[in-house]
Structure 1
Amino acid sequence: MESPPSFHFCFFLFFFSLVLTLWSGEANQNYSDALAKSILFFEGQRSGKLPADQKISWRSNSALADGSAANVDLTGGYYDAGDNVKFGFPMAFTTTMLSWSIIEYGKRLGSQTAAARTAVRWGTDYLLKAAGGLPNRLYVGVGDPNADHNCWERPEDMDTPRTVYWVSPTAPGSDVAGETAAALAAAAIVFRSVDGNYSNRLLSAAKKVMTFAQTYQGKYSDSVGAVCPFYCSYSGFKDELLWGASWLLRATNDISYLNYINSLGANDQADIFSWDNKFAGARVLLARKALVDKDKTYDAFRVQAEDFFCRILPNSPSSSTQYTPGGLMYKLSSSNLQYVTSISFLLSTYAKFMASSSHNFNCGNLLVTSNTLRNLAKKQVDYILGQNPSKISYMVGYSANFPKRIHHRGSSLPSKASHPSHIGCQEGFQYLNSNNPNPNILTGAVVGGPDQNDGYSDDRNNYAGSEPATYINAPIVGCLAYLAGSYGSG
């Protein structure tokens, strides 16, 4: 019997909508899964003695004598990216952004809240050790970066010098100190309701580090030359003084920090947010007082925050942000996704503040609502998760098609379980230069990403595109928590 015409029409509509959904990639977005993986990634970056509940099981204990060169315990913390060095500056920024993700999106984190807190604590336990030498020393790094980058070794096999670096009153580092203060203060807020004693320790250390940053001013890369060209302080240190004071103000409500902020004259315009440049992040954080608390004292920061977003939005007359043909923000050629995740976090978070106060603003003749910012942030995250011209997820282990040859020593070398014997410094390069997929999946790692034309080569030697980093992942945790809370598993 022939089906009635209405059946054919309904079937056609269903089929057409299914094709459209699959084509757009929407059906493949499982934000809850991506959120869990984005946090799990941090286990793969752990340094030190690993706990019994370690889930990324191809990693083992490493760098158990860190700090001994300076007669101090500096074990623990995170390797910043695909290497085996512990750089305090990006590690502190990572910890700040993980904390901010929990502070703003804690209710949406759901079952991932404990894992997110654990990721923060792995960072702050180390930062407390790093600050333990104050007032004379703030430890800012472990491992000779040049020697490390001349080897391709598992962290478990490291035999390069674990040189200890620090800043001091005579060799200052206001930038790394200001960021460390921000990390400790933000984490103090995270732990306030669950571990009061730990929270108090964090806040006490944050105040000491901030005093050090304010008292002994200078760029840390002028004092510790070894951090260049890896993590030079290109934006100076005024942004970190603003950032650190802003977080201490948030954690304490002590008006002296606001007075200090107002005395800084930190009025530089910004169209970027990263481990190096904190102006935009500090202004969004401070603007919360103007929008959520309706405190006009903070209105100047709201204006500066909105000027930043006008430089980001693609249709804004004052936009200074390039976009790829596929719609991805494009700031710089090396690890561009670090800027995408950081800026997307600010978009999501400012949208939250705007929605709470029914606030809109204008970029010239463009009306900007909370949805304007949220939609742009969602588009960026969806692009990272696979909704892009290459149909590749830039998060390792998410969806079927993701980078298999990431620039990461531990992931690319055989694990200790499968290859117990030592793999030497030069011996490891055969794995770097191999065309084989990495034997160990660094689940949740977001890599540096595609070029300005949406092109991507899955090549270990393409470190600008294929290297993951803690400071790429930390901001996307908050974005994914928001999206998982709003859209769930798609």
Structure 2
Amino acid sequence: MAPKASLSPTTTTFILLLISLLSFNLTHSVTAVQNYADALRKSILFFEGQRSGKLPPDQRLRWRGDSALRDGYTSGVDLTGGYYDAGDNVKFGFPMAFTTTMLSWSVIDFGRNMGAELGNALKAVRWGTDYLLKATAIPNVIFVQVGDPYSDHNCWERPEDMDTLRTAYKIDVNNPGSDVAGEMAAALAAASIVFRSRDPDYSRLLLNRAVKVFEFADRHRGAYSNSLYHWVCPFYCDFNGYEDELLWGAAWLHKASRQRRYREYIVNNEIILRAGDTINEFGWDNKHAGINILISKEVVMGRADDLRSFQNNANSFICSVLPGISRPEIQYSPGGLIFKAGGSNMQHVTSLSFLLLAYSNYLSHAKSVVPCGQLTATPAMLKQLAKRQVDYILGDNPIRMSYMVGYGARYPQRIHHRASSLPSIRAHPDKIACKQGSTYFLSPNPNPNLLIGAVVGGPNISDSYPDSRPYFEESEPTTYINAPLLGLLAYFQTHY
């Protein structure tokens, strides 16, 4: 009698987890077909709405105008340009640098999938790096923030009308900030890869600056929130320490320059990534999971056995986010959305999903899988989990709302965003003073200006969303939510 056919353990676990993924919201909604190309176009367009400084002639969101044209003036430097990170009018350097790094990583890994939108993605990267070059132009001095956050947060006014204090805050040899400097080095190095063949001179400028910024960060160690506590906390305080940013910066410099000294730095400092509560953290403050995934590409491809510990950590990260075996720090809403405690949950959703997709591609090329105890995570499974998160954002969720402004039939109308919620300077040329904006903030009416492509902080653990400006944790968009999303949408528009 012939033996009965049986499924391999890998196939069995793939089927079980795939069923788990697809059944998250089976009782709530019917899976929709998403227009990833449209979402990609809009997610890039969002960055034009966040621009500070003199807007270029090809600016597409026409309701925005020039703003903050004297940034840096009182400090004797030009700090115009860059991005407002969220719904206020401060330029916070830490999240802006992380945004630029993730925009660059999206282009590096998925630029070939961006099609006609690649040019706009490159402009988004360059708007960030042009500013970072200004902020790091003086040796051993880095400008890390423009705008008094207390003065700014006391007003609800358009960036074009700003009359709040535009103080420029810096770090230097006596007031170090290895965290923000390390992230800036990473951003400059990553962007140098983006422009290596497209603009070699600009690429060399970026890489040379990244080297100098990293040397400053490593030589003069300290957290910038110790040096500038009153001005950066609690807004973008460094809660996680600066060591991970140093390793993150070294990893990107190694990838950009291929110099052995950065590889040695990585090997000598791998103890920074102690497995624990941070294994599945990745964002503007904590780089642990991102470092492990980035460095693991070399290991997976068989080119760096001395970095095996990073792949082990990357595999632990993958196992920690799988539904059914995830760690306490990772939860899933009834509708299937990754949820981590703290504000602006979508920043975790997009950044962790990006890592899942990036690692799945590395594994696919190496014909490898991730063992998770009795389970086996395949590249296809990781792609499906990442796709599930993106689809949720775009409207495949229990309340059938797209969390991207301007995408789909139903999306947030009252986002926590000054420029979007106030009449545009074209519709209302007269100045709207600091406290006059409060009327618009408290209004139940939809925002008059569509910040197309903005992805808000998102629903709570129960999949409910208030669509109200005062609920800023749910209704505020940020650049670092959108930046990883570019890579995800580019891949899915090509493959699905």
Q: TM-score, normalised by structure 1?
A: 0.93
Counterpart amino acid of 1:267?
L
Whole-angstrom distance in 2 between the partners of 1:318 and 1:78: 34
Structure 2 residue 467 is matched with structure 1 residue 461: no
Counterpart in the other structure of 2:410: 401
**Residues 158-197 of structure 1 mapped to structure 2, 5 A cutoff:** 158-197=162-201
Counterpart in the other structure of 1:25: 31
Q: Does the CA contact (< 8 Å) of 1:397 and 1:443 recur in 2?
A: yes
**CA offset at residue 318 of structure 1?**
5.1
Structure 2 residue 154 is matched with structure 1 residue 145: no
Counterpart in the other structure of 2:110: 105
Whole-angstrom distance in 2 between the partners of 1:247 and 1:280: 14
Whole-angstrom distance in 2 between the partners of 1:23 and 1:322: 20
**CA offset at residue 258 of structure 1?**
1.3
Q: Does the CA contact (< 8 Å) of 1:25 and 1:386 recur in 2?
A: no
Counterpart amino acid of 1:215?
R
Structure 2 residue 295 is matched with structure 1 residue 286: yes
Choose which of 299, 306, 329 in structure 1 pairs with 2:338.
329
| Gap regions ≥5 residues in structure 1 | 1-19
Whole-angstrom distance in 1 between the partners of 2:273 and 2:348: 21
Counterpart in the other structure of 2:273: 267
**Residues 371-450 of structure 1 mapped to structure 2, 5 A cutoff:** 371-450=380-459
Partner SS state of residue 125, structure 1: helix
**Residues 63-102 of structure 1 mapped to structure 2, 5 A cutoff:** 63-102=68-107
Q: Deviations over 1:198-248 (max 9, x none)?
A: 000000000000000100000001111201000000110011011000000
Whole-angstrom distance in 2 between the partners of 1:385 and 1:81: 20
Counterpart in the other structure of 2:17: none
Choose which of 213, 223, 226 in structure 2 pairs with 1:222.
226
Q: Does the CA contact (< 8 Å) of 2:29 and 2:400 recur in 1?
A: no
Whole-angstrom distance in 1 between the partners of 2:324 and 2:258: 37
Choose which of 204, 214, 217 in structure 2 pairs with 1:213.
217
Whole-angstrom distance in 2 between the partners of 1:232 and 1:76: 23
Choose which of 121, 124, 129 in structure 2 pairs with 1:124.
129
Structure 2 residue 153 is matched with structure 1 residue 155: no
Q: Deviations over 1:311-357 (max 9, x none)?
A: 11112265641111111010024100000000000000000000000
Q: Does the CA contact (< 8 Å) of 1:362 and 1:368 recur in 2?
A: yes
Counterpart amino acid of 1:366?
L
Q: Does the CA contact (< 8 Å) of 1:188 and 1:199 recur in 2?
A: yes
Whole-angstrom distance in 1 between the partners of 2:328 and 2:418: 38
Whole-angstrom distance in 2 between the partners of 1:121 and 1:317: 37
**CA offset at residue 134 of structure 1?**
1.8
Structure 1 stretch displaced more, 294-303 or 230-239? 294-303
Counterpart in the other structure of 2:363: 354
Q: Does the CA contact (< 8 Å) of 1:315 and 1:366 recur in 2?
A: no
Counterpart in the other structure of 1:6: none
**CA offset at residue 293 of structure 1?**
4.5
**CA offset at residue 272 of structure 1?**
1.6
Q: Deviations over 1:163-202 (max 9, x none)?
A: 0001111110000000000000000000001100000000
Counterpart in the other structure of 2:353: 344
Report sequence identity in percent. Answer: 55
Q: Deviations over 1:111-161 (max 9, x none)?
A: 1111000000000000000010222x1110100001100000000000000
**Residues 273-312 of structure 1 mapped to structure 2, 5 A cutoff:** 273-312=282-321
Counterpart in the other structure of 1:43: 48
Whole-angstrom distance in 1 between the partners of 2:371 and 2:332: 21
Partner SS state of residue 92, structure 1: helix
Structure 1 stretch displaced more, 101-110 or 309-318? 309-318
Partner SS state of residue 428, structure 1: helix
Whole-angstrom distance in 1 between the partners of 2:42 and 2:326: 37
Q: TM-score, normalised by structure 2?
A: 0.92
Q: Deviations over 1:449-481 (max 9, x none)?
A: 000110100101110000000000000111111
**CA offset at residue 290 of structure 1?**
0.8
Whole-angstrom distance in 1 between the partners of 2:328 and 2:253: 31
Q: Does the CA contact (< 8 Å) of 2:280 and 2:288 recur in 1?
A: no
Partner SS state of residue 222, structure 1: helix
Q: Does the CA contact (< 8 Å) of 1:317 and 1:364 recur in 2?
A: no
Whole-angstrom distance in 1 between the partners of 2:385 and 2:289: 17
**CA offset at residue 26 of structure 1?**
2.0
Q: Once superposed, which parts of structure 1, at least 4 consecutive aligned residues long, lie more than 3 Å away?
A: 317-320
**CA offset at residue 294 of structure 1?**
3.8
Whole-angstrom distance in 2 between the partners of 1:443 and 1:221: 33
Whole-angstrom distance in 1 between the partners of 2:487 and 2:292: 18
User: Aligned pairs, how many?
Assistant: 465
Partner SS state of residue 204, structure 2: helix
Counterpart amino acid of 2:64?
R
Partner SS state of residue 170, structure 2: strand
**CA offset at residue 66 of structure 1?**
0.2
Q: Does the CA contact (< 8 Å) of 1:316 and 1:364 recur in 2?
A: no
Counterpart amino acid of 1:177?
A
| Cα RMSD (Å) | 1.2
**CA offset at residue 291 of structure 1?**
1.2
Whole-angstrom distance in 1 between the partners of 2:273 and 2:235: 27
Q: Does the CA contact (< 8 Å) of 2:301 and 2:362 recur in 1?
A: yes
Q: Does the CA contact (< 8 Å) of 1:133 and 1:139 recur in 2?
A: no
Q: Does the CA contact (< 8 Å) of 1:66 and 1:75 recur in 2?
A: yes
Whole-angstrom distance in 1 between the partners of 2:215 and 2:320: 33
Q: Does the CA contact (< 8 Å) of 2:267 and 2:307 recur in 1?
A: no
Whole-angstrom distance in 2 between the partners of 1:158 and 1:25: 44
Whole-angstrom distance in 1 between the partners of 2:139 and 2:212: 8
Structure 2 residue 259 is matched with structure 1 residue 254: yes
Counterpart amino acid of 2:106?
S
Whole-angstrom distance in 2 between the partners of 1:189 and 1:431: 43
Counterpart amino acid of 1:469?
T
Partner SS state of residue 102, structure 2: helix
